[in-house]
Amino acid sequence: METLIQQIINGLVLGSMYALVALGYTMVYGIIGLINFAHGEVLMVGALTSWSIIGLMQDAMPGTPGWLILLVAMAIAAVVAAVLNFSIEKLAYRPLRNSPRLAPLITAIGMSLLLQTLAMIIWKPNYKPYPNLLPMVPYEIGGAVITLTQVLILGMTAISLAVLMWLVNYTRLGRAMRATAENPRVAALMGVKPDFVISATFVIGAVLAAIAGVMWAANYGTVQHTMGFLPGLKAFTAAVFGGIGNLAGAVVGGIALGLIESLGAGYIGALTGGVLGSHYSDIFAFIVLIIVLTLRPSGLLGERVADRA
């Protein structure tokens, strides 16, 4: 039972980070039908930026509380990621908006490789230890343990999702996003500026990805220029799993994928008689994805146009 509770906690933490990144994919797809495969690299840039800021602050202001350093680093990382994603949309995607869908897709993959290469040049290719800024005292829950960092991850994810849902459903920008997702041309006739809405969507997605990147680095304790590829791929899988273009689906897909992956890692050895180890846990996630998409191609919750952002 302790193992089950521990794997559920780990799955919720992992799924929370997937959900934040998946929201970026699903918002962009909901509005312009584009899969931004460079989104995982935005997570990576956010994590590496926060690593640099933490190092500078620790050298310049010794004695500063760890939580304050982490908060400042996260805020600066979010700004850098927002500027980066805004630039990507303006320079790489906007000129191809009316092109065949294959063109922006290839451009997105090329942008992903370009960002990885630039990050390798700027931050060097070696793995870097991410400082522990919060107390590492574990808290027990039913025999399982959870750290303060993991509690922060769950809390930040809940707050971020609540703010995003409020923004989409109860603000003028949210109404403009829903209108643009429904029909950009009609929305433009009603006074909505589609270009501004699309740029705002990329910025919001980048902020969520940067938060996820900082939390990912804080949880796993290391950063590197290729660290965004696998979380980005998993988050895209989560978005498709829940229903691409559906905000609630991205959250459900992220949490479900995290739980499946964590439970798979905990029990795959027993289920296969020791043939497969925990590092094969990805098998479970993609097997479940294939089954779900075979039985329900639109994902768990399907695509709900009214909720798209």
pLDDT for 305 equals 43
Collect all residues with Cβ–Cβ distance below 8 Å to 175 and sequence separation of at least 6.
none
DSSP 277-298: -GGGTHHHHHHHHHHHHHH-TT
pTM, two decimal places: 0.90
| Residue 37 · residue 31 · CB < 8 Å | no
What is the per-residue pLDDT for 288?
75
* Per-residue pLDDT, 228: 92
3-state secondary structure of 146: strand
Which pLDDT does position 301 carry in this prediction?
78
Q: Could you list the mean pLDDT of each consecutive 10-residue stretch along the chain, which spans 309 residues? A: 86 93 90 88 96 94 89 96 94 87 89 94 94 86 87 91 90 90 86 91 94 94 93 89 85 90 75 65 75 81 53
pLDDT of 293 reads: 78
Length of the chain: 309
Sign of the C-alpha dihedral computed for residues 14, 18, 21 and 24 taken in this order: negative
DSSP string, 23-78: HHHHHHHHHH----TTHHHHHHHHHHHHHHHHHHHHHHSTT--HHHHHHHHHHHHH
Look at residue 137 in the predicted model and tell me its pLDDT: 82
